[in-house]
Chains A and B, each alone.
Chain A
């Protein structure tokens, strides 16, 4: 039995998902929007990128279903729950999470990375890992062979699942499998989806098969599995990339439209506001705000029941701060577009009917700005994921106990001077980030091209 825990960030994330679903349903009824999304769906590169993003989002969502496990029941006593908060992803990866080593070990290694003085010996040796390669026993001659077997088993598993998915889809749509893979099927570009899914499933298969006996990406300073850390970082990246823009949007949209449509002193005031805010260099404003937030959190420890809650509050506060410092750009953009729209004849036609100001902004201005909002949303995402790493490095990012790409890099860089180098944490963090950001960038490009009437190339 478990007790579900809904952190604030989880709640917001689910609100976001619900909003996206609702918007999708609404957009299906809007001709222009449907046509634009249709262009995205037909774009092979965009669909491949979307597939990668979907996998990341799935992992992030699994990591957002939090719970507290029930402690072994004591007869007669009330049910009690563990202090630590875990997620569905933790449950799936419990093997990885629990099989920690003592300290650093290289990927796929069987021994620790550093020599230690062993018991009953004066020599310093590389001790065996407690879990990595433990099933091999004392005889290590089969190490490479074992890995090769596991890789091929993983590949086979991934391939089988992929074939099952492909044939299920083809049966559902009544297309021949070979034909679909050769030329694709009409409608959305489905072929790139499956072609992207293949390497992903193969990698998953390999990770599961090899990860069962080894640390695929090695372990970090305190012996945690780096693969586990990388997967856990995904949720943090996604949250920062999406919630930040979400926090910022209502304000940016409201002020941008007001400034552009109402004009006069309202415009002057809003322009003054965003010029002032944007004149403070972003990183410094964030740093100052985060430092102050830290003071608040540190001086009020009583507000948070668990350390997970505290880390979550800090994550949300970071999103809020990032949002507050970055709304100015979008507001400026929307103000400019509103100024143009305001002069268009359909707005004047509405004025000739005596339609009220706010009704005009809602009916005539806002819907014609939505594509800009959407483009801003997807274009900002990748920048924010990258910014998180930098901010955490600077020391004004997420809580040090929150697992994120930034904290992974931050802890790993201490070991850069070590000889030989401890490279695997960095490599894992950078590769995951690169995959996420590249997919987001490619997808954002396709969305912008589809929605922006001016976009060329």
Chain B
């Protein structure tokens, strides 16, 4: 019996059609996931169901049946009873989705007043119960706290408590864990799954992450350009995806098996919502495209066991052959490290009191050491707030370290003045996380790429000095090297997609012939198919130019695919380092083990390692002894007393833990 029946829902924003006729059912107690890349219309669909669309957007056709009532025909007052009462909703950004000036209790109680008719002390008691139910310790005290006093994971739990207040029969969760760290994501997903089973509540989960889908879904709907292209039960979908788009999503996922090889990519990008389609929406990017794909929209075709697909191809789409691995590309012969970091510290003073004296410090980086050999990739892995980005910037001297040593090719950087550093800057460059903030919107692409050559007086290849003319002739080939066209030099950044911008940012860094590229989460803002393009580009460049990468990321799958060596960071220090195989296959530190276990796996396999409880402590006030001991299942008295020293396993694996075996 379906609790929700969506039929031909279409939402238009002026000329754009972000949702263009989608239909699906959700049974009571079922978890249905909408899977798709950014801009495919999945969030718009969810807002449309709740009739919470932004003012410019309009539902132009279709119906939404909830427990037999058509929501789109209800008066606004009737709809308000459904919102929160029949259907609860939680959003992606727990940081902005709670009202910053109202206490947590107030925000839960207002939903209780509305839907449960509770008032005063009864409402407060119930609110505390709800907080307890979503796994928040000490709920009575938390009721009077404000959202800014909670960590991201706790905030999302409060959001869930708010949504549960009206005992909804359906919970819509729009990318509920995308803004959270992987260990916290695991906690929240477990909670959602648990609540769903206990309360027999249906769950509409919206996500772009195949791992989350594998962990949570009963059934899956794949969205592309405003429409559903495939619908299937989980087992069938993960056994054999039917639509060419779904197949490519799987193939674009990086992991260890594809190491050294090329990832399958989907050429081009998702069509804009303004585009009118005659045939299949995926036709332009599909390698199996046929004539009929372009002339008429493909009809739904039933495969077996509830799997259906909108594609003209008979049978399932053929698997995509990933490129042949070129083997390990790294050079091993070199023995002198290109980058050598010892006891690096970056402290930001905390000023308090009358005279703003420094009363303490945020120990963002607190004594980390690592080495990077020429031509190799070292992945610096850790959750947000562990200090990995600060460490990267401190190595480049963009932030001056408080203490410690950074040597590039044997030259000490920390003691050099800004002027003395300039000649060395050509050797090391950085690629940033946000492709939209990393290019100056007022400069042309040509000027952006030429900036480094002009500033450093290197003419790029061949070092011919930096005259404007010479610089200009070198920009074109650079653009081609990163897979763009040379005539794009005179365009502005806003004309490019996220993936193209990241290519431009890479070209800008390459312009000065660096030996070391520090990549700070270069793909975390990109969709998985575009991420594959950038990862392919990075490995091509490493092979051709013998670049060394320091790859800062939280994405274990990317690390597994790309890195030769791995360093795991926790609260400002490296807790485990070694070759990728050692660290990822045979982790020794309990944190590394928990981190790896928390990553949702596409094969749906569950890990034996217990999930981590709690949050990372604040770097302003790290716990005494081993920083990890409050969350560590193995911790004993020794761990609370002193920070463990380095223990060397195998040739390269170094662990800082008393309990490592």
A interface list, Cβ under 8 A from B: 30-32, 344-346, 348-356, 359, 363-364, 367-368
Contact status B437-A346, CB under 8 Å: yes
The verdict on A349 contacting B438 (CB below 8 Å), with A32-B492, A354-B456 known, is: yes
When distances are taken between beta carbons in the complex, the residues of chain B under 8 Å from A367 are 440, 442-443
| Cβ-neighbour of A32 out of B422, B430, B442, B512 (below 8 A) | B442
Chain B: interface size category: 20 to 34
For the complex, give the distance between the alpha carbons of A355 and B452 in Å.
8
When distances are taken between beta carbons in the complex, the residues of chain B under 8 Å from A31 are 492, 494-495
| Cβ-neighbour of B430 out of A349, A356, A368 (below 8 A) | A349
The verdict on A354 contacting B441 (CB below 8 Å), with A348-B398, A348-B430 known, is: no
B interface list, Cβ under 8 A from A: 393, 396, 398, 418, 421-422, 425, 428-430, 432-434, 437-443, 448, 451-452, 455-456, 492, 494-495, 505, 508-509, 512
Contact status B508-A345, CB under 8 Å: no
Contact status B512-A351, CB under 8 Å: no
Contact status B432-A349, CB under 8 Å: yes
For the complex, give the distance between the alpha carbons of A23 and B430 in Å.
35
**Which 10 pairs, one residue from A and one from B, show the smallest C-beta to C-beta distance?**
A354-B422, A345-B438, A345-B432, A367-B442, A353-B452, A353-B455, A346-B440, A355-B455, A354-B425, A345-B437
For the complex, give the distance between the alpha carbons of A230 and B302 in Å.
80
Chain B residue, CB-CB nearest to A366:
B442
Contact status B442-A353, CB under 8 Å: no
Contact status B456-A368, CB under 8 Å: no
Minimum CB–CB distance from A440 to chain B (whole Å) comes to 27
For the complex, give the distance between the alpha carbons of A352 and B452 in Å.
9
Contact status B437-A344, CB under 8 Å: yes
Contact status A348-B512, CB under 8 Å: no
Contact status B443-A349, CB under 8 Å: no
Minimum CB–CB distance from B576 to chain A (whole Å) comes to 29
Contact status A353-B451, CB under 8 Å: yes
For the complex, give the distance between the alpha carbons of A354 and B451 in Å.
10
Contact status B422-A364, CB under 8 Å: no
| Cβ-neighbour of B494 out of A32, A345, A351, A359 (below 8 A) | A32
Contact status B451-A350, CB under 8 Å: yes
Contact status A364-B440, CB under 8 Å: yes
The verdict on A353 contacting B456 (CB below 8 Å), with A345-B432, A348-B398, A368-B442 known, is: yes
Minimum CB–CB distance from A343 to chain B (whole Å) comes to 9
Minimum CB–CB distance from A344 to chain B (whole Å) comes to 5
Q: A31-B492, A32-B442, A346-B439 are in contact. List 9 more A-B contacts (CB 8 A).
A: A31-B495, A345-B438, A346-B440, A352-B429, A353-B425, A353-B512, A359-B455, A363-B451, A368-B441
Contact status A352-B396, CB under 8 Å: yes
Tally inter-chain residue pairs, CB-CB below 8 A: 66
For the complex, give the distance between the alpha carbons of A113 and B286 in Å.
88
Chain B residue, CB-CB nearest to A355:
B455
For the complex, give the distance between the alpha carbons of A346 and B493 in Å.
12
Contact status B440-A363, CB under 8 Å: yes
Minimum CB–CB distance from A271 to chain B (whole Å) comes to 14
For the complex, give the distance between the alpha carbons of A364 and B448 in Å.
10
Minimum CB–CB distance from A292 to chain B (whole Å) comes to 38
Contact status A363-B437, CB under 8 Å: no
With a 10 A CB-CB cut-off, give which of B440, B456, B495 has the most chain A CB atoms.
Answer: B440
11 sample A-B contacts, Cβ–Cβ < 8 Å, listed by A number = A32-B494, A345-B433, A345-B434, A346-B437, A346-B440, A349-B505, A353-B429, A353-B452, A353-B456, A367-B440, A367-B443
When distances are taken between beta carbons in the complex, the residues of chain B under 8 Å from A354 are 418, 421-422, 425, 455-456
Contact status B508-A348, CB under 8 Å: no
Minimum CB–CB distance from A319 to chain B (whole Å) comes to 30
For the complex, give the distance between the alpha carbons of A346 and B438 in Å.
4
Minimum CB–CB distance from B13 to chain A (whole Å) comes to 15
Minimum CB–CB distance from B111 to chain A (whole Å) comes to 28
Contact status A349-B508, CB under 8 Å: yes
When distances are taken between beta carbons in the complex, the residues of chain B under 8 Å from A344 are 437-438
When distances are taken between beta carbons in the complex, the residues of chain B under 8 Å from A352 are 396, 398, 425, 428-430
Minimum CB–CB distance from A135 to chain B (whole Å) comes to 61
Minimum CB–CB distance from A452 to chain B (whole Å) comes to 14
Contact status A348-B434, CB under 8 Å: no
When distances are taken between beta carbons in the complex, the residues of chain A under 8 Å from B439 are 346
For the complex, give the distance between the alpha carbons of A32 and B396 in Å.
32
For the complex, give the distance between the alpha carbons of A363 and B429 in Å.
20
Minimum CB–CB distance from A267 to chain B (whole Å) comes to 14
When distances are taken between beta carbons in the complex, the residues of chain B under 8 Å from A363 are 440, 443, 451
| Cβ-neighbour of B442 out of A30, A345, A351, A356 (below 8 A) | A30
For the complex, give the distance between the alpha carbons of A32 and B491 in Å.
11
Minimum CB–CB distance from A372 to chain B (whole Å) comes to 13
When distances are taken between beta carbons in the complex, the residues of chain A under 8 Å from B443 are 363, 367
When distances are taken between beta carbons in the complex, the residues of chain A under 8 Å from B434 are 345
Minimum CB–CB distance from A342 to chain B (whole Å) comes to 12
For the complex, give the distance between the alpha carbons of A344 and B442 in Å.
14
Minimum CB–CB distance from B443 to chain A (whole Å) comes to 7
When distances are taken between beta carbons in the complex, the residues of chain A under 8 Å from B425 are 352-354
When distances are taken between beta carbons in the complex, the residues of chain B under 8 Å from A353 are 425, 429, 451-452, 455-456, 512
With a 10 A CB-CB cut-off, give which of B393, B442, B512 has the most chain A CB atoms.
Answer: B442
Minimum CB–CB distance from B489 to chain A (whole Å) comes to 14
When distances are taken between beta carbons in the complex, the residues of chain A under 8 Å from B509 are 349
Contact status B440-A351, CB under 8 Å: no
With a 10 A CB-CB cut-off, give which of A352, A359, A364 has the most chain B CB atoms.
Answer: A352
When distances are taken between beta carbons in the complex, the residues of chain B under 8 Å from A30 are 442
The verdict on A351 contacting B398 (CB below 8 Å), with A30-B442, A32-B442, A363-B443 known, is: yes
Minimum CB–CB distance from A232 to chain B (whole Å) comes to 42
For the complex, give the distance between the alpha carbons of A348 and B437 in Å.
10
Chain A residue, CB-CB nearest to B430:
A352
When distances are taken between beta carbons in the complex, the residues of chain B under 8 Å from A364 are 440
When distances are taken between beta carbons in the complex, the residues of chain B under 8 Å from A345 are 432-434, 437-438
When distances are taken between beta carbons in the complex, the residues of chain A under 8 Å from B440 are 346, 363-364, 367-368
For the complex, give the distance between the alpha carbons of A355 and B495 in Å.
26
When distances are taken between beta carbons in the complex, the residues of chain A under 8 Å from B448 are 346
When distances are taken between beta carbons in the complex, the residues of chain A under 8 Å from B438 are 344-346, 349
For the complex, give the distance between the alpha carbons of A349 and B398 in Å.
9
Chain A residue, CB-CB nearest to B418:
A354
Chain A residue, CB-CB nearest to B493:
A346
When distances are taken between beta carbons in the complex, the residues of chain B under 8 Å from A349 are 430, 432, 438, 505, 508-509
For the complex, give the distance between the alpha carbons of A349 and B443 in Å.
14
Minimum CB–CB distance from B370 to chain A (whole Å) comes to 19
With a 10 A CB-CB cut-off, give which of A345, A350, A367, A368 has the most chain B CB atoms.
Answer: A345
Minimum CB–CB distance from B89 to chain A (whole Å) comes to 24
Minimum CB–CB distance from B534 to chain A (whole Å) comes to 16
When distances are taken between beta carbons in the complex, the residues of chain A under 8 Å from B418 are 354
For the complex, give the distance between the alpha carbons of A355 and B422 in Å.
8
Contact status A32-B451, CB under 8 Å: no
For the complex, give the distance between the alpha carbons of A208 and B433 in Å.
66
Minimum CB–CB distance from A187 to chain B (whole Å) comes to 19
Chain B residue, CB-CB nearest to A357:
B418
Minimum CB–CB distance from B629 to chain A (whole Å) comes to 34
Minimum CB–CB distance from A46 to chain B (whole Å) comes to 21
Chain B residue, CB-CB nearest to A352:
B430
Chain B residue, CB-CB nearest to A349:
B438
For the complex, give the distance between the alpha carbons of A344 and B443 in Å.
15
Minimum CB–CB distance from B422 to chain A (whole Å) comes to 4
When distances are taken between beta carbons in the complex, the residues of chain A under 8 Å from B494 are 31-32
Minimum CB–CB distance from B523 to chain A (whole Å) comes to 15
Minimum CB–CB distance from A38 to chain B (whole Å) comes to 14
For the complex, give the distance between the alpha carbons of A5 and B437 in Å.
52
Contact status A355-B451, CB under 8 Å: yes
For the complex, give the distance between the alpha carbons of A161 and B182 in Å.
73
When distances are taken between beta carbons in the complex, the residues of chain A under 8 Å from B429 are 352-353
For the complex, give the distance between the alpha carbons of A49 and B542 in Å.
58
When distances are taken between beta carbons in the complex, the residues of chain A under 8 Å from B437 are 344-346
Minimum CB–CB distance from B375 to chain A (whole Å) comes to 21
When distances are taken between beta carbons in the complex, the residues of chain A under 8 Å from B422 are 354
Minimum CB–CB distance from A366 to chain B (whole Å) comes to 9
For the complex, give the distance between the alpha carbons of A368 and B492 in Å.
14
